[in-house]
A and B are shown apart, each in its own frame.
Chain A
Amino acid sequence: MNSPLNAIIIGAGHNGLTCAAYLARAGQSVLVLEAATEVGGLARNRIVANGEQLSSAAHLLHSLPQNIIKDLQLEKHGLHYAAQHLKTVSLNKDGATIVLNKQLAMGDQLSSADLLGYDRFYLDMQRFSKALLPVLGKVAPEIAIEDWRQKLDLLGLGWSIRKLGTFYMREFLRIIGMNLYDLMDEYIENTQLKAAIAMDALLGSEWGARSMGSVLTYLYRQAGELRNNTGLALPSGGMGTVSQAIAKSARQSGADIRCNSPVKHIIIDNNKAVGVVLETGEKIYADTVISNADPKQTFLKLINPDHLGTNFVRQVNNLRAKGKAGKLHLVLSQKPSFTGLDDSLLGERLVIAPGMDDIELAFNPSKYKRYPDSPILEIILPSVRDDSLCQNGQQLLSAVVQYLPYDDSTDEDQNRTAMLKVIIETLEEYAPGISDLITTAELLTPRDIEREFGISGGHWHHVELVFESFLFNRPTPLLTRHATPIDNLLLCGASCHPGGNVMGIAGRNAAQQVLRGEK
């Protein structure tokens, strides 16, 4: 068979593009196939109205590591920041806001015990996040394997935990499986402060702060942020520009990226992936096929099950990919004003999570496929920092909405409309008069995200980031280290270790595995 291409990558999400860029830089001929009209996946821009552009799903950059930015020369290719090190501002109906700026918490209602507790919590969590770092950037080492490199990686994790010292190692092992709710109780009293912290563990997740494993999810995100030096950053021109920059870098290294090219299935010959068939019927062959699609999409939709074993299909089918994060986009005729929020803080990351119980109450209905009465919101007004996004003094509001159920009922459209109304009512309580400013409003539910971005269950991290799907078990034991039961077929998406968020590490590591010949 004549196979002119070294690799085909299915999906031009940020990981697929990163993988393509690294492969192309190593001299491989790479073709990226994207179903949508534009690259970026969850990190692409979206035109909401009259040319106003918004980040369509992910709206903040915090975990893209410095070395990937450097390797791929992303700054040269258009990655610029409208703002870095955003503070977190927890809004309050009565105007009692709390501002979190790294180690510092500010708020009139915070007691000195809260402030000290937060300081201690912050430092402890930093310490523990760092302990996770040795394995975070690498391909997950496997247990029970005779490969010295992987053994070293595992030893590295062990050593990094041991290095914490007896006290903190014990503490790490005590808390790592805990839930954030209980852990924070050990440090802090003020519930609004705790809720603001908890947001980091919850965004995109299926679970609440009282669910087991939320500490791990929290540390994971903190560790991701340790790998770059921009903190919570707002890319100029929206998250789409991040993906565009990676795409540019990949193209410059010689990768070919084709949009509007949905893949119908992966061609497998004698247990080897040899190419893909597009929806148009066109067949393209390559030595390696790398899927940036989530595992369910890849194995249950793009591959004829004849080629897979039942144990494997069972594992993939059971993967937990129940997205609960929705996305709200508003176009406002002018800057809104939030009760008690100084105008200078309008461009920060605003959080509506009044207390820990409110998070739980927003989470509970979603377990039963119902919508919350008062959702938890992470709000960004990107146009405050980046006036290139809007004209005529208009403002954009982008918010992550937790917890929306995956709604496959026939009332989906009515439910979405009703939920949008609930969200706007919630916003109105915090920013009286905001509803009169809205010129355009749209809500993407997890099901919309599934439809629009082709992600099973609409889950932002493709597969829930939890202990059972962590390190060598991510996404499942049979899919570890980017490899799949099909030869020459690899995964490079968020479902791979370290997974989740706009991080790019999974994409880069998949490329490394291909270049090492481990496929």
Chain B
Amino acid sequence: MTNVNNQRPLYERPILETAFYPSYKHLIQNDQYEEWGGYTTLASFASEGQEYFSVRNTCGVYDICPMLKYRISGPDAERFLNRLMTRNIKKMLPDRVVYSVWCDDNGHLIEDGTLFKFSETEFRLCCAEHQIEWLLDSAIGYDVDIEDVSTDIAALAVQGPVSCSVLKKMGFSGVDNLKPFQLTVFSQLGFEVMISRTGFTGDLGYELWVNSSDAAPLWEALFEAGKSRGIRMIGSTALDMLRIEAGLIMVDVEFMSCFHTVRHLREKNPFELGLHWLVDFNKGPFIGRQALLKAKQNKPQRQLVGLDIDWNKQADSALIYDSKDCSRQIGEITSALWSPVLKQNIALAFLDAPFYEGNKSMWAEVYLHRECLWERKVFECRVTPKPFYSPERKSLTPPEDL
């Protein structure tokens, strides 16, 4: 990992390179760089279409090093996390991963992320935004150690129908037995590789976690094994398409952390995001429980849903109306995609009650830029279940050997 001179002022500090960057930088063809968490990352390497299809048809690899990783250990680790998270962490088995959210005292969403359990006293929390302050303050009164290990650990998401076959070819025998959200550690490469069957694409896929110093040999071995199976680095544009098809929410797109909202009532609770299934009121006390119990008494005023939009133009940032004359706004689209695999115009949208339930008609106001002119179009749309795309292979164990 690039050395950062922390003594230099922020504006002079170089943007960081991830542990895998030296390995894949020769694959960058179109210089579509973007900053993510202080790191140089790529919107696409060559062609976002090809990258997208590599995950749906063969195997795409996404560099997730900039994710924040926290090691949470100590005698009270489980109790601490059970209070922090809205899900029941005490039910979690070792070598498992859960997706959960966490809220503040007011039941406002802070972030979502994945929690890895190695033992009752050792966990790893993985998320997109810095949480160290919240974690440390939440640890007051608990015998627990919290350490930011983000730069110590490098990780790749290996996703797609042939991802399991590629990993097996790398020598990770038995990886095909991993069930979704299960993890195991391999050492066939001469160093420890933790593999979890997780991902952000809604497809069959794994995430590989190593010490940052082992990043280069891991990448080499992975791309050597995947060469004949169409392996490809993918950028964030393709990933965004994939996650929308999978109906997965993204921080700062579908919701903003309550730490960052400025305007009154812009905070979200899990119910508004349709994440009722993540909140376990029966597990005992947790942060935000009282506020969420209160919130649960009434149906949310707005909720995030999937939309199916007529016609074929992607409805980015469109406002939703209850009638074609667009007189009353009832919601807005947060993420939109013309889904290549579904051949369907889909979107994630926040809708007011009662429009998020049932099968009511509504209209999306879309602005199209055509030959240097803006045109306003109104397309009919309707609520449709999420995920939009969920192939059987996603949860099949063992996956098909391709």
Which residues on A are within 8 Å of B, measured CB to CB? 268, 271, 300, 305-307, 309-314, 317, 485
Contacts and interface: CB of A to CB of B under 8 A. Distances in A.
Contacts of A271: 285, 289-290
Contacts of B105: 309-312, 485
Given A271-B290, A300-B141, A305-B83, A310 B285 contact: no
B22 to A, nearest CB: 39
A305 to B, nearest CB: 4
Interface string B97-129: 000000011100000000000000000000000
A317 B83 CA distance: 18
Given A300-B141, A305-B142, A317-B140, A310 B134 contact: yes
A75 B289 CA distance: 48
Contact of A300 (B79, B82, B83, B140): B140
A311 B289 contact: no
Nearest to A268: B285
Interface-centre pick from B79, B82, B137, B284 (highest chain A CB count, 10 A): B137
B138 interface: yes
B138 A307 contact: no
Could you say which of A268, A309, A313, A314 has the most chain B C-beta atoms within 10 Å of its C-beta? A309
Residue with the highest number of chain A CB atoms closer than 10 Å, among B105, B138, B142: B105
Given A300-B141, A306-B82, A310-B137, 4 more contacts: A305-B141, A309-B104, A485-B105, A485-B290
Nearest to A301: B141
16 contacts: A271-B285, A271-B289, A305-B141, A306-B79, A306-B284, A307-B285, A309-B105, A309-B287, A309-B288, A310-B105, A310-B134, A310-B137, A310-B138, A312-B105, A313-B138, A485-B290
Please tell me the size bucket of the interface on B. Answer: 10 to 19
A306 B104 contact: no
Contacts of A311: 104-106
A143 B139 CA distance: 31
Nearest to A486: B290
B321 to A, nearest CB: 34
Contacts of B141: 300, 305, 313
A321 B142 CA distance: 22
B106 A306 contact: no
Contacts of B287: 309-310
A310 B110 CA distance: 12
Contacts of A268: 285
Nearest to A300: B141
Contacts of A310: 104-105, 134, 137-138, 140, 287
B83 A306 contact: yes
Contacts of B289: 271
Contacts of B134: 310
A300 B141 CA distance: 7
A271 to B, nearest CB: 6
Contacts of B106: 311
A314 B285 CA distance: 18
Most buried by B among A268, A300, A307, A485: A307
Interface string B274-290: 00000000001111111
Contacts of B79: 306
Contacts of B138: 310, 313
Interface string B77-109: 001001100000000000000000000111000
B288 to A, nearest CB: 7
A422 B380 CA distance: 86
Nearest to B106: A311
A310 to B, nearest CB: 4
Interface string B141-171: 1100000000000000000000000000000
Contacts of A307: 285
B285 A313 contact: no
Contacts of A312: 105
Nearest to B84: A310
A306 B141 CA distance: 9
A485 B79 CA distance: 20
Nearest to B142: A305
Contacts of A309: 104-105, 287-288
Nearest to B289: A271
Contacts of A306: 79, 82-83, 284-286
Nearest to B290: A271
B140 A305 contact: yes
B305 to A, nearest CB: 29
A317 B284 CA distance: 23
A317 to B, nearest CB: 6
A310 B259 CA distance: 13
A264 to B, nearest CB: 15
A300 B104 CA distance: 18
A158 B19 CA distance: 62
Contacts of B290: 271, 485
A106 to B, nearest CB: 53
A313 B137 contact: yes
A485 to B, nearest CB: 7
Contacts of B82: 306
A317 B137 CA distance: 9
A312 B105 CA distance: 7
A446 B385 CA distance: 63
B85 to A, nearest CB: 12
A314 B137 CA distance: 6
Contacts of B83: 305-306
A314 B286 CA distance: 16
Among all A-B residue pairs, the 6 with the closest Cβ atoms: A309-B105, A305-B141, A311-B105, A310-B138, A309-B287, A307-B285
A288 B106 CA distance: 24
A306 B82 CA distance: 9
A306 B140 CA distance: 10
Interface centre among B79, B138, B288 (most CB of A within 10 A): B138
A321 to B, nearest CB: 15
A312 B289 CA distance: 13
Contacts of A485: 105, 290
Nearest to B103: A309
A209 B383 CA distance: 66
Interface string B179-201: 00000000000000000000000
